Chain A
Amino acid sequence: DSGVTQTPKHLITATGQRVTLRCSPRSGDLSVYWYQQSLDQGLQFLIQYYNGEERAKGNILERFSAQQFPDLHSELNLSSLELGDSALYFCASSVEPLSTDTQYFGPGTRLTVL
């Protein structure tokens, strides 16, 4: 158990809908990262927050947004969902956003868009 929690574990929704994925980092970790894992794309970095502020953006679509709250939990919002958004979404956390700082991954949320 990495100490990172993600809810829900599974989510099934329809195209055009909006969903929110939630992540609670490990106790003491200030940095949160979101990744998308699909069969053909591997692990793709989406976005990073550090202590409530956005630090880095990856291949995140404009339909997606995220935020980190004062209690350090984070939410990833996916809107106008398309079939291709079906994937595993992972949250990871680390103490600091440093090169050698270990990122601990949560168990993921499996999103299925029908």
Chain B
Amino acid sequence: QQQVKQSPQSLIVQKGGIPIINCAYENTAFDYFPWYQQFPGKGPALLIAIRPDVSEKKEGRFTISFNKSAKQFSLHIMDSQPGDSATYFCAARSGNEKLTFGTGTRLTIIP
């Protein structure tokens, strides 16, 4: 019930392409869905987050798409750059419960 399943495990995209990372959850009580970006040797940093009352949220080149009925959400990175190469984690939370993280996607953007 508390799991968040993330795919793919790794992704290689050419510069300018649109990498898409997908997450699925089971717990319908989740009401907050953040994405974190982690560079090697650093802690995760909040990238963008969405509540289930909206279907899409954009911040710069990053977009979250949310499908409440399918219990899925995804991260799209527009015009991807080599500097976007990092590990991305989706997460979900219900009320003041703990954040449950996906297993991470290692993204590589090749020039």
Contact = CB atoms under 8 A, between A and B. Distances in A.
Interface in A98-114: 98-100, 102-108
A45 B100 contact: yes
Nearest to B98: A45
Contacts of A83: none
A107 B36 CA distance: 14
B15 interface: no
Interface string A1-16: 0101000000000000
A56 B94 contact: no
A39 to B, nearest CB: 10
Contacts, number: 58
Given A99-B31, A99-B94, A99-B96, A42 B89 contact: yes
A107 B42 contact: yes
A48 B98 contact: yes
Interface in A70-114: 90, 92, 96-100, 102-108
Interface of B: 31-32, 34, 36, 41-46, 49, 51, 89, 93-104
